[in-house]
Structure 1
Amino acid sequence: MADTRLIQSRYRLLEQIGRGGMGEVWRARDESLGRQVAVKCLKPLGPQHDGAFTRVLRERFRREARVAASLQHRGVTVVHDFGEHEGVLYLVMELLDGHNLSQLLEENAQHPLPVDHVVDIAEQVADALGYTHRQGVVHRDLKPANIMRLSDGTVKICDFGIARLGHDISMTSRLTTTGLAMGTPHYMSPEQISGKEVDHRSDLYSLGCVLYEIATGVPPFDQEDAWAVLVGHRDTEPTPPRSHRAELPGFFDRVVLDLLAKAPEERPADAGDLRRRIVLGRTGEQPVPGPPALPHAGPGLLPARREAALPLWTRSMTAGHRATGSVRHAVEQDDPAAGLTGRWTTATATSPAPHSDSFVSLPTGPPAPDLLAALAGRHSAGIDLGRLGRWEEAGEVHRAVAAQRESVLGPDHPDTLASRYEVGFALSRTGRADEALREFVRVAEGRERALGADHPQTLAARQETAYTLGQLGRHAEAHQAYESVLAARRRAMGPDHPETLRCRHNLAFNLSRLGRTEESWRVAHEVAESRARLLGRMHPDTLATRYEVAYTLGRLGRWAEALETYQDVARARAVALGADHPDTFAARYEAGISLGRLGRDAEALELYRSLVADRTRSSGAFDPETLRARHGLGVNLGRTGRWEEALAEAREVCAIRARTLGPDHPDTVISCREIAVGLGWLGRWGEALVAYRQVAAARSRVLGPGHPQTLAARNDEAHCLERLGRSDEAAELHRAVAAHRAHNAALPS
């Protein structure tokens, strides 16, 4: 801008009130008319953009500005003027006194907005969209940051910056084929994602995403990985909003789910129809008939319902900026995908500038957009590797991305911390809990500095810290951490938010490991009931908590109830997840344990036979879980008196475990003990003594000579000596065990 800060000798820039990757927004004074306005200025294009790119952007800007200026409705931001000054494109708009929906959610500490506000916003936006659609204008980037609620309650749609005249197909095609994708992933329609032509019903879908988020606090597909978000829009049915927030009216739940229909023809016919449904649901009265429905696009323009794969342009997208969670990138990608919207908002002179892209926090200036996009793609690739169970590779990818993000964005930037979080996750899943704990503590501290102590992402890192403490056996510390996170989640999200319930589930698990079994059962039972009410009885999270309920019932000796619960969970998981899902198998395995505890050994034996066959078919003969099932089979062969078969099974499983897991692995040692048990039952006490001594030696190496499991093995060894008539050796071993136990009892707890 010129030093005079005067544009075209008319608009005097007074104060910057917004900033984004595409430019700035200023409060300004129109010297000709003596009124205050907002002036949006595109950032000058650098030498990295070629002439063709610049021409496309300028053509798009002028076209969109004319369209925006033609709109005259109380629910649409007024555009007064546009032009170019000293190579900078600018747009002059009315100055609004209010906040966008993204800001309202953030100021509300990520709580959803009041129900009456949500319904009022829905009705006003539907009215405004009804007008713009009748003018043939489709917004194409409707999201919380583009909807303003003024101080008097008026709602306005802002930034028709990527709008297109609906009938002007040729220009739309030409501009979109340059590869400049449009829209924000959390709010994009399936047809928009698939790269098909869109009509007004795409805006209705985006509005459904916005309403879902302001009503529940989370978008309908709430993943950090852009690819997962896009696939969710395309393939996954959304959870009903009332599952997150029971007080939402039933009509609103139905309206939002209809807006989120995958096929455009299954959504409301137009925004006028939508508004009539909202008014009817809100008042119970028959609304005044609105204008006739817009004609749908012809068959040749309807988007395909499903695509075999997402288009290539989506692969470089980051997850964007949902209204809650506020993952703040240091700079928006300088990409016309953002149109004129970017992260801009308008505000009054007395309002704080929005939390935009924090250029000043960068260590060495804004990084290249191509670099940020490449790092985002590698981050997503690392997540995909983790989903495939390739945790070592995932960890290497995330470590490399974290180091590079730290160098260009800084150590406390949310993207850097997101990579660090994934590093911790990979370490946790590869058994390196000590390293994972350090990583999660580092992430939690960084997020607290950058985002605040009660921010959902800070709490997520603190919750993983608690989980890792539990992995390390530090259950008392884990309990304190879970209690702290739970209090913050209740305060910020409410008692029935899914993340609050997830924290309570983890707390119940940890209580059982502390030996506080009755408390653990009570908490798990309450969480299971809450999850069933909010998510449904067949939801995987509900079933996970019911599994924990069954575990605590077993610890309390209530084996009949535990068996019934495990069997219910196994049946439900077979339906919800599939018969061969690992979680289904796990519930069947625990049902076998319960049958054994109840003395129903023949039934347990048959269950384990079928489980071994299914595990072998699904995962292979040498999979650790297949071997676990075979171990259970061997135990129950012994319980039914078939000791020769039991011993053969134990020997084979032990040999495989020693080769694949190592001779001192706990599973290998358990199998070795089962060999000793079988030998004892067959009266082969000399061989049993050798096996028990192998067990005691392995446990002493791994756990220490005074560990309770090592001492139990020494007791077994003494019992063998007695059976062999070697009473003096047995008595000496018993004395040594007793001394160790006395020493352990004297230690401070």
Structure 2
Amino acid sequence: MPEQPIAGRYELVEELNSGGMGDVWRGYDAVLDRPVAVKVVRRQAVAGSPQLAEEFAKRFKREARITARIQHPGVPQVFDAVLDDAYERLFLVMELVDGLPLSAYIRPDHPLPVSWAVAVAAQVATVLSYAHEVPVIHRDLKPSNILVARDGTVKVLDFGIAAILRTDVTKLTATGSPIGTYQYMAPEQVRGGRTSPQTDLYALGCVLHELFSGRHLFNADSKYLVMYQHVNAAPTPLRLLRPDVPAALEELVLHLLLKSPEARPVDVQEVYERLRPFLPTPGGRPAPGESWPQGVPDPTGIFRQPYAPRARVGAGRPVPTTVDPHAALPAPVAVPELLREEIAEAYAHSDALLDEERFAQAAEVLSEIIEPAARALGTENRKVLELRTQRAAIRLLGGDYRAALPEFDALADAYARTGGPSSTQARACRAQAARCRGELGQVTDALAALRDVLHVVRAVGGDVSDEAVELRRDIGMLLLAQGQVPEAQLVLAPLHDDLCLVYGPLDDMSEEVAEALALIELDLDGPAA
């Protein structure tokens, strides 16, 4: 892999998976400070004569542009396409999706619920309808190219890759082997014939058959025998393998798997309409026996609650238990020397990235050490909590309030358990969580939390400690931003007096509060003169 950033901005951080056409890496965009996915097509797929390399470069750019035109949330957004100067490697830079491939959920001993499988297939059909309109044919649709995100949305990966690596151009397929994966290859692909949208429909039929049955459509000792079966053998009807599959779904799968492309459904819209009667209705609940293991994404959710707002931040968060101040604290665990060095290196690396304002990557560096540290020392070990606190602070600093909020909430609970609810760390994390809520528009909750923390701080350190004046400033500014001008003035005016007395009128916070009070005096919301 290149030691220098790709195109001067994309860094390869960690290999996520490896396939026949290339490797997928977790990457980092240094310009926009965000994680990305980078698809690196294998060297042997690209190398060739200068003439082939030139033709490949043209095709790569053309296909990347076409793929980027598929405007659908089920297709990871293409950010960039880079071909190196030697025409030996190509890099597709895409949206990084948090989820698992569909293949991770297919098991012969645990068939997927019908509604789960139908919801996945319907989402894939929707994506294909947008792609075929461009027109883009996938040519390599399979479970490992279908990703189920944690919120249940389905993403179809690797559009355009098969087209880029066509047999007449690349060394990878110079032997004449057809592009595709043999377990999902339509008869016309096996024969090396023309592909069409119906080619993708056949692959979708293979995927649906596998979702319902837990096994490949055809199985044999060699891939060539499987390819022969795709051309000549009749598929086993699903209800012989799984009697609870509705007859109409069995008919749809058999229709998708017809040998002649013209005999298959006319288009993917027809497929969706035939799936629709088996999709959950808006507001509906899972039928008995249609549940799935805890932690498995729910692809039916977008049908049960279409266009629903995203879940409230912190919704479902467990209520912290009451802390017994007399309870014995866990005994400290000695930090192994090697782990101590790795933690120090992580802090140093993260700090260096912070100096460059690379907030997302700085937080990721700490994430990589937090998990092994928690396994070795315990999740509420002081060193682990400090690492998590620094990561949350970086996310807050970088403006990622949605990610920082649950971390600060969890840290406040952990510090309350280990050091007491009024400990400095617990107070600080509760205040930071409140600031995140304020940035996310949850002003009522933010104000209530800040006032609660201020009440504790006043009892511990008075009204003009650094912690107290920051809380008073935040409360006043939130009130002002909400248009509660009289309430804001009642907070900010005495705060300004205290700041001038203790820190002087030229202190940064003194000047900030003075400016806010000057705005209040202008009465910009009052009637025009």
**Normalization by structure 1: what TM-score?**
0.35
Which structure has the larger Rg over C-alpha atoms? 1
For CA contacts below 8 A with separation 6 or more, give which structure has more relative contact order: 2
